[in-house]
Structure 1
Amino acid sequence: MNSNLIKYKGIHPGIIIERELKKRSLKKRTFALALGEYPQILNDITKGKRNIPISLALKIEKELELEEGTIVLLQSYYDIEREKKKLQILPNLSILRKSLFWDTNINQIDWNKQYKAVINRIFERGNEEEKKEIERFYGNRKVRTVLNSQKTKPMQLSQQK
């Protein structure tokens, strides 16, 4: 695989294709027709709504003069990342009020990557039960580290029984 595309691992390959088309000043419709594909299919792919079949990936690679297998590998890496997210262990969402996450879909939170924001939000606005759940999920040490790294005075940890 082309070494400069490795940085795109885990990103839907359609988004990368759209970027390439823009860089080359190619219209999606014209490009799709040149491949012998319906423009709607390419549009869905570039919006990340549809996976890329191997046969289409090979056509795109040939047309864009990419190394053979690049798009297929990116699709595989994307699929792997999606499966990892499905396997991700979550806090007990029945305890956490959805209103705490009014500005995002609680089901799309990456609990491992966004742990600092989650911990801060729960300890700013959450009740005792929610704070205990976050401490259980992340562990007292991680929660304490995040709260102590704040520039303002850290919030109190809930009392363990």
Structure 2
Amino acid sequence: MNTLIEKYKGIHPGIILERLLNKKAISQRPFALSIGEHPQTLNTITKGKRRLNTALALKIEEKLNLEEGSLALLQTYYDIKEEKSKSKQSTPDLSLLRKSLFWDTDISKIDWQKQREAVIRRIFERGNDIEKEEIKHFYKSAIVKSTLAKSSRKPYTIYSNKENA
């Protein structure tokens, strides 16, 4: 099981299940009926659109002679991966940025990754120290520094003297 888990860690277990069924030349519909499940349920799981609950995982593992808990464990690792990706901050702390900095656009519609160079330049042209610190925290200081170094408007002061020391 350890090699199965390590190999497929972070992948939706439904995708793994679909591969296993294809490898064994088992059709989804008859398989679903043989374990007492609706074919639609199994189909949405194999497409990665639905979670694989523990009870169903145990039925599938028994029917396919898989080690008990392997699919449920894959679901757990997938859930962890999804939660980590959600927890990554997708926007800076908007409460620290004045809306007037983005007077010409709807701040809720800014794609903070695609438009990061414009955002960084704008904040460092018109923002206060708190806003600059938030942008350095959100994008990481190295990215901010390299973006400002490429900018046609110079000089930008990114760090105070005490930070360079």
Which residue of structure 1 lines up, in the alignment, with residue 138 of structure 2? 137
The verdict on how the C-alpha distance between 1:75 and 1:156 changes in structure 2, with shifts beyond 3 A counting, is: same
The verdict on how the C-alpha distance between 1:122 and 1:89 changes in structure 2, with shifts beyond 3 A counting, is: closer
Identity of aligned residues (%): 44
The verdict on how the C-alpha distance between 1:2 and 1:35 changes in structure 2, with shifts beyond 3 A counting, is: farther
Deviates more, 1:80-89 or 1:58-67: 80-89
Quick one: which of 110, 117, 122 aligns to 2:116? 122
Which residue of structure 1 lines up, in the alignment, with residue 35 of structure 2? 35
* Aligned counterparts, 1:1-161, within 5 A: 1-92=1-92, 98=109, 118=113, 122-123=116-117, 126=118, 128-129=121-122, 135-144=136-145, 155-156=150-151, 159-160=156-157
Cα distance, 1:64 vs. partner?
1.6
Distance (Å, rounded) in 1 between the aligned partners of 2:18 and 2:108: 38
Query: Contact (CA 8 Å) 1:91, 1:134: kept in 2 or not?
Result: no
Paired residue type of 2:138: F
Query: Contact (CA 8 Å) 1:21, 1:28: kept in 2 or not?
Result: yes
Distance (Å, rounded) in 2 between the aligned partners of 1:140 and 1:71: 41
Q: Which secondary structure does the structure 2 equivalent of 1:31 belong to?
A: helix
Paired residue type of 1:129: R
Paired residue type of 2:151: Q
Q: List alignment gaps of at least 5 residues for structure 1.
A: 101-105, 107-117, 148-153
Q: Which secondary structure does the structure 2 equivalent of 1:14 belong to?
A: helix
Q: Which secondary structure does the structure 1 equivalent of 2:92 belong to?
A: coil
| 1:80-135 deviation line (CA, Å, top 9, x unaligned) | 222222322233286777475xxxxx8xxxxxxxxxxx47x633xx3523786754
The verdict on how the C-alpha distance between 1:90 and 1:58 changes in structure 2, with shifts beyond 3 A counting, is: same
Aligned residues: 135
Q: Which secondary structure does the structure 2 equivalent of 1:25 belong to?
A: coil
Q: List alignment gaps of at least 5 residues for structure 2.
A: 95-101, 125-131, 159-165
The verdict on how the C-alpha distance between 1:122 and 1:64 changes in structure 2, with shifts beyond 3 A counting, is: same
Q: Which secondary structure does the structure 1 equivalent of 2:16 belong to?
A: helix
Paired residue type of 2:45: I
Cα distance, 1:27 vs. partner?
1.3
Query: Contact (CA 8 Å) 1:144, 1:157: kept in 2 or not?
Result: no
